[in-house]
Structure 1
Amino acid sequence: MEKLLPERENAWHHSKHFMLSLLLLFSLVISHDSFGQNVPVSGTVVDDTGFPLPGVNVVIKGTTNGTVTDLDGNYSLEVPEDAVLVFTFVGFETIEEPVNGRSTINATLGEDLSDLDEFVVVGYGIQRKSDLTGAISSVKSEDISRLPVSDVTQSLQGRVSGVQITQNSGAPGAGSTVRIRGVGTLNNSSPLYVVDGMLLDDINFLNPNDVESMEVLKDASATAIYGSRGANGVIIVTTKQGSFDTDTRVTVDAYTGVQQVANKIDLVNAREFAQLANELEQNVGNQPIYNVNDFGQGTDWQDYIFRNAAINNFSIGANGGSEKTNFNLSANYFNQQGVVKESEFERLTIRLNNQYKMSEAVTFGHNLSFIYYNQQNEPGVIGNAYRAYPIFEPTQPDGSYTNTAPVGNAAAQFEYNSNNRTNNYRGVGNFFMDVKFLKNFTFRSNVGLDLVFQDSKSFTPVYFVSPTQQNPENSVNVSNLRNTNILWENTLNYSKEWEDHRLNLLGGITTQDFYTESLGGGRRNLPGEDPSLWYLNAGELTSQTNSNGGESWAMLSYLFRVNYTFKNKFLFTGTFRRDGSSRFGEERRYGNFPSIALGYNIIEEGFLQNQNFLSNLKIRGSWGKVGNDKIYVYEGRPVVNGNQNAVFGENEELVYGATITRLSNPFIQWEETVTSNIGFEFGFFNEKLTGELDYYTRTTNDILVAVPIPSYVGASNNPVVNAANVKNSGIDLTLNWRDQKGDFSYNFGIVASTVNNEVLDLGDGNEAIFGGAVGISGYLGSRTIVGESIGHYYGYKTAGVFQNEADLSSIPKRGPEVAGDLIYEDTNGDGAVNNNDRVILGSPIPDLVYGFNFGFDYKGFDLRADFNGTLGNEIYNAKKQTRFNTYNFETSYLDRWTGEGSSNTEPRVTNGGHNYEVSDRFVEDGSFLRLRNIQVGYSFSEVVLSKVKLQNFRVFLSGTNVWTWTKYSGYTPEIGGGNVLGTGYDSGLYPVARTFNVGVSASF
């Protein structure tokens, strides 16, 4: 493999000697421990549900000597034989345990609502929430596992301020688009994911039941520890762990349900289609082609392709531990049939989380997931079902498929084009070693792995439906993809508390290697259609095609962080990370990413101690720089492609050649995002009402942009330079109320976020960047310019319909319009309508993203409901605009212009042409409010369960995407996708399903 980082060999050399020295020191310290005068004591601290508690203070009573529990609730220290240990954790009851010669002392802390606080997971560690200076939101396991989804990120929808999550598609196994505090780049805006310390680009492999918590890091104080990959935010996932010296606990979670299309598109029936098609022919000077009286309702092709589909999920897990080992094991099977026929997703996940206590000072462990999924991709019938004539039946009386030209017959597609499957084998996880020495130091070495092998195969038989829907030669296509991601991190942590001070120092060196390779091939004319012949060797050799490509890159990083708290009142966090990446040229390979943050716990002031109204009040502020390295690997290096062959000379000989297809730019550098944040945290009435309010600005500089070059240069891709600047600013609000009255407890929460997106610079000349769907005139409908938001819609503004010749002679026209055509505004007032009259038509970026939830518990009964929505965004209905032939019509066409005074909004019926320019005719309000999930359950009492030796047994009913309020006419107002320059275009998405489930959760 290519040598990716010139400095890496020296860095590795120093890192190796540094580690060997530390390990030698650890062995000396560990050996010395056995000569102490005190007795060693260790154990695990858990809450009353059995889950480990990190950060619990374990102190020898009457002294300040002690320690804190680690991420898994474990602790160890040396104490006098007659000592008493005091376990304290903010938000939980304090307990005391006499040693009495014991070497293992475990503790269970019950929750104390009168003094509620918590620890949250931050980058490379944990921290008291009261000590946080960054903008971090946390979602716990009970809210993550309630939704019947294949992508765990969807559980954050409507529950975290500053985060917009949009399903890319309703297809089984489809992922989501995640935006944290808006879009700050013209390139990849996806966040970084960290699962148990492993840095990843996606988490769609996770079983929601395995997740203990998800933390969303939003500002530089929280994300700068991840340096070049923190600009788009970071989502940290912590999976469930076992506890030392704890009885084994087995859990079973299962549900089954049915899915259905939540909303169909309103299309005309057969009779209405015949009438509109006749008018279309008459409008172009032809005779009517249908006798309208011959038709009735006809075929609703949507009903034909959609179905009620099953969804099933089954999980089983076990956790516990002995004195030296703990474990959390789980297996999950998830199966989702698609609401479109011939689409399916099934996934099997096995997780092995174990820890092994080698000594009181050394712990070894691993968190491993093994995932297999099989996906059947729907055969592309949605667009055809939208456009197919309702006058056609799927099949003829003799059973043959109907010729439904000019679009394909969806019924035939299901039979002939559904042999398209993808298998994915993935292993994700990490191995780690923790070594404690010199009382306050902890060294961790962590090796992470993400190994993916994916194979896809499709087979198309010989068939004939019509001249435009046929396949004269059968064919098979096979592709393989292999990805390798290896991470090695070594960190040293110093943590000490004394009197009024609390100090934590973190330093580390990390390296990460990435490699991907793809291989594909295809052949035609197999001797038969049996699946046993679906292999390349069975096809004709002369028809073979093949492809092979790969790429690799690496990173080397140094990191440091200091957290300091004085009197639980004054807070300081400083972070620095230096990243080097082979994605950039040697001159610009390294980037520096610092941050600084301050906090003030006002509630700790003396004048606020003896009152019952205000229970928490904190102000915090941060500033920092983070980066975005999500660019194509070879932007900084030239790419040469072969097979550029030509025939030359008198003998017309074939000469093999190669050429540069991508120009290099060794001087491109990191996209750099400067973020500032000021936040307030507050609590009232003994923490019954809590909330957070943040105002932020984030400006991304040196965004990578492709610069046009002359075609005679010969490169197929424009070179990339650092040119653009984009600013996002907004407010994040979180409010929660919870209370308990006897057996009745209830809660209510709301999150809301605003985003103001503005492009500040696009480089030399500030040339506009276009994207999105192509209009009839050939112009793209999305534009990005200085002073406006990224990817706004850009086209003509309509001003009614030409009613008569008087209008045509007095109103400026774009071209040869006739009565019944749309009027486009002459926005610049020059008396003509042309390209200069195009204006901004809206934006896919919402003004407000919000969600709210409520729930209650009463004597075993519980109810939870979650809502989410957006305000102020628009959707471009590209599927309605795409009309290059006679297709079916949406019912909005029934309000078309048929003569003077008949309509001033919907033009006469035409195919393409003037009325299908990029205009506000196709821009619709994308605001919505959705009942995302509602669940009702009942938990049986301990008295009943004790008779059958169960710890917990709960049954529930739930509904997902139950109800949506929106003005948008498509299947769903949630339009996802990763292309930030073309967001919000609906070209015919797979519908989002409404789901109803019944399930059970038990433990014993």
Structure 2
Amino acid sequence: MKSKLTWILTSFMVLCVSFSFAQGKTVSGNVTDQEGLPLPGVSVVVVGTTSGTQTDFDGNYAISANAGQVLKFSYIGQKTAERTVGSDNVINLQMQEDAQALEEVIVLGYSTRGKNEITGSTVQLKSSEINDVPLVTVDQALQGKVAGLTIASSSGTPGSTQDIRIRGVGSISASNDPLFVIDGVPVISGNFSGSTSFSSLSALSAINNQDVESITVLKDASATSAYGARGSNGVIVITTKKGKQGKTSFNYTSSYGVQDFAVDQPTPLTASQREQLYYDALYNTFGDGGNNFTRAQAPAEAPTRGGWGAYAAWIDAGRPEGNWGEEVKRNNPTIVNHNISASGGDEKGSFYASLGYSKTEALVVGSDFERINGVFNFTRNFSEKLKFTTNMNVSNTRQNAFLEQSAFFANPFLSRYFMPPTEQPYNTDGTLNTNMNTSLFNTLYLAENDIAENDLTRAIINSSLEYEIIDRLKFKTRFSIDYNLSAYRRYENRIHGGGLADGGTAESSINRNFNWVTQNSLNYTFSLGQHNFDLTALQEYQKNKTNYLYGAGENFPVDGLTYLDNTSANFAVSSNFTDWANASYLGLLNYNFAGKYIFDATYRNEGSSRFAPGLRFGDFWSVGAAWNVSSEEFMSSVDFVSQLRLRGSYGVSGNSGIDINSYQALLGFSADYDNQGAIFPTGFGNSLLTWEKNANYDVGVDFGFFDDVVSGSVAYFNKRTYDLLQNVPLSRTTGFSEVATNIGEIVNKGVELDLTFNIIRSNDLNWSLSGNYATLDNEVTKLALDANGEEITITTGTRRIEVGQPINAWYMRGWAGVDPANGDPLWYVNGTDGATTNDYNAAEVAYQGENATPQYSAGFGTHFDFKGFSLDADFYTAGGHKVYEDWSRYTKSNGTFSTRTFNGTSELLNSWTTPGQITDYPALQANAGDGNRASFTSSRFLYEGDYVRLRNLSIGYSLPSSATKVLGMDAINFSVRGTNLITWVKDDRLKYDPEVRADGFTRLTTPPVKSFVFGVNLKF
């Protein structure tokens, strides 16, 4: 978009050269950009003569020239083009963007800088990489696009939260989530589900990606320190679209698609397979090959053994197969998106307005997502000195999400693994079966008769007033509101399921989160010769408050009633209020000498109400420098170097991502003692608690060769987190198990590489390759000391945090395979190698190689376009880590959990049956749900997490301008896009989707999906 000054200069040039046309015939036509949109005020001259344009500022022109003469077309930000005048007197031209002439502007939140003016490590995605990606939450577009950023979905249910980590995991007990900034203001992100243990709903699901102009990821101290404590884990800056000068233009997009699982899931046992395995288990446990009964005689012996009832009823019914996996899965669930926007403006102001609708069905019954949103962004110049801007984004999001965050019996997706296939979804008359010989529920019935709904209304209003006090000195005041109203409702019917014993149950909650931010800043820019200065002083105050109200009840009088006010027994109610505040004072300095030498410095004094008075304020700062080597005179003779710059930064930021009031000794008042209120201690408190800190240095090189045919960057980072907000164990004599303290250190370091190859660049044909690669080395270097002065270790059932180890190191017994002689499970005595034992308790616990965090991640892609046709493909890969198969105790048990109580997966068909047999699945047992502990925690269920995924594949076609003009349109584009189409997994034992959350566990939630989407885009 041209600035007002650029517009005036261009118009002036056009008018000046139009006074002396060359004599000859009139040549006319229209000029558009690479997207087919008109370019008003293009300069057109006849080469070799003094001639210029006549234009109506709508992309059309008329000029006097002779046949054979050459016309030169030029426009700011576009590549100059020449065309020879022919006999038809018409030249229509589609210009191409000139990346060298139009330097990329990086949005840093509090400021914007030219790409060659920054010293920090940043990556910016443009709207073309965001708008058309068929994803519910806009942050999903970042996967594979940013070196050093890893992202994974908590669930494939539409609207679920994402786990995002930038340059590793830096904290043990505090938050590791990045800060999100929308249009310059920090906003609230995270899970807005009314029941976080049942489902997740991302606050970013309220943002329509069609309204996003750019997303910038800030990674190092120079880029993030302006945000102080909140920037400790990186910052993601989202900028929404603004209006452009010119006539009002409209943009309508519509897409429709279908979905499926991104990978094949583990195959559940059929009822017949499960029956045979049960007989094997009976023989292995009770038979002896002759003296009692043989394996072939096991079916006859089954009625005399416990647990036969389920099989007996199934056999009597004719052995029907209950295919729960197919029954709970939707066939070709759809994605529907519609969005219309308008943009326009004049020399005094501009506007952008849009209305969007999105609906996405989940892969399993009972879940879907729907959103409607509206945006209005408006800018007005009240005078030459006074400018007003407001951005408004309002949306309503509804998500049906059935118990997705754990192994609940009512989770539809879980039915394929937990529900015995001997049970039938339907009765013989076609009605849903609610009389089953199992403790599990018919999730098909629950999907039709129960309710689990999240409803989020979000309003983000951001207004600013900018006044130029004197030349180049500007005062800006900004006020922003982020209001989130989350309503949750759950109903369990009284006929079947969890509500049966209580006559039906209902619960509802309302969560109101009100976040407001005010900013006041002074910005002064000036130059002393070739010394250029940009100074900013900013004051910011942020206040957040949450009101929560919850109610529950039981016993409905009749069917069909679902709301809480119709219940009649066991009422429960609760409510609470929380608030916190941040106050900050910020100074920014950016200096450059002749555009060659760059220096910037940031200082932020920030206070948080989460800490005790006297310790609330912390000082955070950074310094950075860059040298644009390619701007030096001595580089003018080095023709093949188009850009070369060195940069480095160092700084300190902080982290306050802990529960409020953690520094206080707390009392609770919710106890009931003989129907009287009671007070009890709930928090030990630590009055010395203060900021977790983060020292981060970064050095890098940005380069371009052969007119940027090859371009990219390479960087090294080292991020040391110290004064960790760590929960340290307490003596039980205190009455508490732990207390939050500031002690401990973690180091994350690695290398990041970005490369782009522009193989072919021309008006009609373009082809490019791009990629990024990042390594990550994570190590705990210091922890708290125990009463004996020894460094503590933090051990869970699967992991241990210890000095010298990664923060997510797997720590468990080492699996040694199956004894071929008798089918017993074996573990290493010392935990890793050597001697083995069949006694689980006799095996030591030890570290098992890689940790849960990927040690490398990468993205690579290609773009190709030819005369209106385009092809894009993007891949993502991560690896060097291990993932653990959660819930294997149920699906791969060699006891009755997998063959009698629940259901196993097809890998159990490889279970040991014959002496000398080599297999990794021990002999099945029929005397305990867990068998002989073969499915207990061990490295047996640790898998290499390396994978490669075809993240995006799109094919597009843009009608030529000659055709769109006949139709009265500016541009018409068609596209077919696929996401997550192909996934390659290194470890063929890993049957679940390899894209797991940051904790490294597979889950029995709906996995990520692949989709096929057809779209159309109309511009008029």
Q: Fold-level match, TM-score > 0.5?
A: yes
1:15 is matched with: none
Displacement after TM superposition at 1:668 (Å): 0.6
1:449 is matched with: 481
> Kindly tell me: are residues 875 and 224 of structure 1, through their superposed partners in 2, closer, same or farther at Cα, counting changes over 3 Å?
same
Which of 846, 855, 866 is equivalent to 2:854?
A: 846
Distance (whole Å) between structure 2 residues aligned to residue 341 and residue 837 of structure 1: 41
Identity, % of aligned pairs?
A: 29
> Kindly tell me: are residues 270 and 526 of structure 1, through their superposed partners in 2, closer, same or farther at Cα, counting changes over 3 Å?
closer
Asked whether the 8 Å contact 2:859–2:875 carries over to 1, the reply is yes
Q: How does 1:217-236 map to 2 (within 5 A)?
A: 217-236=218-237
In the alignment, is residue 410 of structure 1 matched against residue 438 of structure 2? no
Distance (whole Å) between structure 1 residues aligned to residue 320 and residue 566 of structure 2: 47
1:811 is matched with: none
Displacement after TM superposition at 1:393 (Å): 2.0
Distance (whole Å) between structure 1 residues aligned to residue 160 and residue 5 of structure 2: 52
Asked whether the 8 Å contact 2:459–2:483 carries over to 1, the reply is yes
In the alignment, is residue 821 of structure 1 matched against residue 825 of structure 2? yes
SS at match of 2:322: coil
Distance (whole Å) between structure 2 residues aligned to residue 567 and residue 905 of structure 1: 68
Q: How does 1:71-150 map to 2 (within 5 A)?
A: 111-113=97-99, 115=101, 117-150=103-136
2:278 is matched with: 277
1:769 is matched with: 794
Displacement after TM superposition at 1:895 (Å): 1.4
Q: How does 1:155-234 map to 2 (within 5 A)?
A: 155-186=141-172, 187-202=174-189, 203-234=204-235
2:1012 is matched with: 996
For 1:761, the aligned partner's letter is: K
SS at match of 2:232: coil
Q: Which moved more, 1:285-294 or 1:551-560?
A: 285-294
Asked whether the 8 Å contact 1:313–1:333 carries over to 2, the reply is yes
Structure 1, unpaired ranges of 5+ = 1-38, 53-87, 96-107, 648-653, 772-779, 805-817, 978-982
Q: How does 1:744-763 map to 2 (within 5 A)?
A: 744-763=765-784
Asked whether the 8 Å contact 1:168–1:176 carries over to 2, the reply is yes
> Kindly tell me: are residues 641 and 45 of structure 1, through their superposed partners in 2, closer, same or farther at Cα, counting changes over 3 Å?
farther
Displacement after TM superposition at 1:848 (Å): 1.0
Q: How does 1:726-741 map to 2 (within 5 A)?
A: 726-738=746-758, 739-741=760-762
Asked whether the 8 Å contact 1:953–1:1002 carries over to 2, the reply is yes
2:454 is matched with: 422
Displacement after TM superposition at 1:769 (Å): 1.6
In the alignment, is residue 640 of structure 1 matched against residue 663 of structure 2? no
1:469-513 deviation digits (Å, cap 9, x = unpaired):
944411211111000101001111111245422211111111000
In the alignment, is residue 799 of structure 1 matched against residue 811 of structure 2? no
Distance (whole Å) between structure 2 residues aligned to residue 797 and residue 972 of structure 1: 24
Q: How does 1:582-621 map to 2 (within 5 A)?
A: 582-621=609-648
Displacement after TM superposition at 1:713 (Å): 3.4
Distance (whole Å) between structure 2 residues aligned to residue 801 and residue 830 of structure 1: 13
Asked whether the 8 Å contact 1:678–1:696 carries over to 2, the reply is yes
Distance (whole Å) between structure 2 residues aligned to residue 281 and residue 662 of structure 1: 52
Distance (whole Å) between structure 2 residues aligned to residue 991 and residue 830 of structure 1: 39
SS at match of 1:987: coil
1:33 is matched with: none
1:707-727 deviation digits (Å, cap 9, x = unpaired):
222445344x63211122110
Which of 924, 937, 944 is equivalent to 1:909?
A: 924
Which of 965, 987, 997 is equivalent to 2:1003?
A: 987
For 1:694, the aligned partner's letter is: A
SS at match of 1:972: coil
Asked whether the 8 Å contact 2:493–2:500 carries over to 1, the reply is no
Q: How does 1:859-898 map to 2 (within 5 A)?
A: 859-882=867-890, 885=897, 886-898=901-913
Distance (whole Å) between structure 1 residues aligned to residue 589 and residue 183 of structure 2: 21
Displacement after TM superposition at 1:539 (Å): 2.0
Displacement after TM superposition at 1:924 (Å): 1.3
Displacement after TM superposition at 1:158 (Å): 0.4
Displacement after TM superposition at 1:391 (Å): 2.6
SS at match of 1:943: helix
For 1:544, the aligned partner's letter is: F
Displacement after TM superposition at 1:40 (Å): 11
Distance (whole Å) between structure 2 residues aligned to residue 831 and residue 522 of structure 1: 53
Distance (whole Å) between structure 1 residues aligned to residue 273 and residue 567 of structure 2: 48
For 1:193, the aligned partner's letter is: F
In the alignment, is residue 382 of structure 1 matched against residue 413 of structure 2? yes
For 1:273, the aligned partner's letter is: R
Asked whether the 8 Å contact 1:563–1:573 carries over to 2, the reply is yes
Structure 2, unpaired ranges of 5+ = 12-31, 38-73, 82-93, 190-203, 288-300, 303-307, 403-409
Asked whether the 8 Å contact 1:487–1:512 carries over to 2, the reply is yes
> Kindly tell me: are residues 469 and 194 of structure 1, through their superposed partners in 2, closer, same or farther at Cα, counting changes over 3 Å?
closer
Q: How does 1:344-423 map to 2 (within 5 A)?
A: 344-378=368-402, 379-398=410-429, 399=431, 400-417=433-450, 419-423=451-455
For 1:881, the aligned partner's letter is: R
SS at match of 1:588: coil
Q: Which moved more, 1:590-599 or 1:256-265?
A: 256-265
> Kindly tell me: are residues 493 and 587 of structure 1, through their superposed partners in 2, closer, same or farther at Cα, counting changes over 3 Å?
same
Asked whether the 8 Å contact 2:652–2:695 carries over to 1, the reply is yes
Asked whether the 8 Å contact 1:841–1:920 carries over to 2, the reply is no
In the alignment, is residue 501 of structure 1 matched against residue 531 of structure 2? yes
> Kindly tell me: are residues 955 and 590 of structure 1, through their superposed partners in 2, closer, same or farther at Cα, counting changes over 3 Å?
same
Q: How does 1:671-750 map to 2 (within 5 A)?
A: 671-715=692-736, 718-738=738-758, 739-750=760-771
SS at match of 1:878: coil
Q: How does 1:453-464 map to 2 (within 5 A)?
A: 453-464=485-496
> Kindly tell me: are residues 420 and 274 of structure 1, through their superposed partners in 2, closer, same or farther at Cα, counting changes over 3 Å?
same
2:321 is matched with: 298
Distance (whole Å) between structure 1 residues aligned to residue 844 and residue 117 of structure 2: 55
SS at match of 2:350: strand
Asked whether the 8 Å contact 2:212–2:239 carries over to 1, the reply is yes
Distance (whole Å) between structure 2 residues aligned to residue 646 and residue 782 of structure 1: 39
1:247 is matched with: 247
SS at match of 1:275: helix
Asked whether the 8 Å contact 2:712–2:755 carries over to 1, the reply is yes
Distance (whole Å) between structure 2 residues aligned to residue 40 and residue 903 of structure 1: 78
Distance (whole Å) between structure 2 residues aligned to residue 961 and residue 628 of structure 1: 34
Distance (whole Å) between structure 1 residues aligned to residue 499 and residue 118 of structure 2: 62
Q: How does 1:306-317 map to 2 (within 5 A)?
A: 306-307=329-330, 308-317=332-341
Asked whether the 8 Å contact 1:116–1:687 carries over to 2, the reply is no
Q: Which moved more, 1:914-923 or 1:222-231?
A: 914-923
1:570-626 deviation digits (Å, cap 9, x = unpaired):
111111101001100013111000111111111122221133311111111110001
Displacement after TM superposition at 1:689 (Å): 1.1
Asked whether the 8 Å contact 2:502–2:554 carries over to 1, the reply is no
In the alignment, is residue 924 of structure 1 matched against residue 943 of structure 2? yes
Distance (whole Å) between structure 2 residues aligned to residue 831 and residue 824 of structure 1: 4
Asked whether the 8 Å contact 1:396–1:402 carries over to 2, the reply is no
> Kindly tell me: are residues 711 and 517 of structure 1, through their superposed partners in 2, closer, same or farther at Cα, counting changes over 3 Å?
farther
Q: Normalization by structure 1: what TM-score?
A: 0.84
> Kindly tell me: are residues 732 and 297 of structure 1, through their superposed partners in 2, closer, same or farther at Cα, counting changes over 3 Å?
farther
Displacement after TM superposition at 1:701 (Å): 0.4
Distance (whole Å) between structure 2 residues aligned to residue 868 and residue 590 of structure 1: 41
In the alignment, is residue 570 of structure 1 matched against residue 557 of structure 2? no
SS at match of 2:226: helix
SS at match of 2:982: strand
Displacement after TM superposition at 1:377 (Å): 1.3
Q: Normalization by structure 2: what TM-score?
A: 0.82
2:864 is matched with: 856
Asked whether the 8 Å contact 1:45–1:109 carries over to 2, the reply is no
Distance (whole Å) between structure 1 residues aligned to residue 5 and residue 948 of structure 2: 58
Displacement after TM superposition at 1:904 (Å): 4.1
SS at match of 2:544: strand
SS at match of 1:174: coil
1:335 is matched with: 359
Q: How does 1:446-485 map to 2 (within 5 A)?
A: 446-464=478-496, 470-485=500-515
Asked whether the 8 Å contact 1:198–1:449 carries over to 2, the reply is no
For 1:682, the aligned partner's letter is: F
For 2:238, the aligned partner's letter is: V
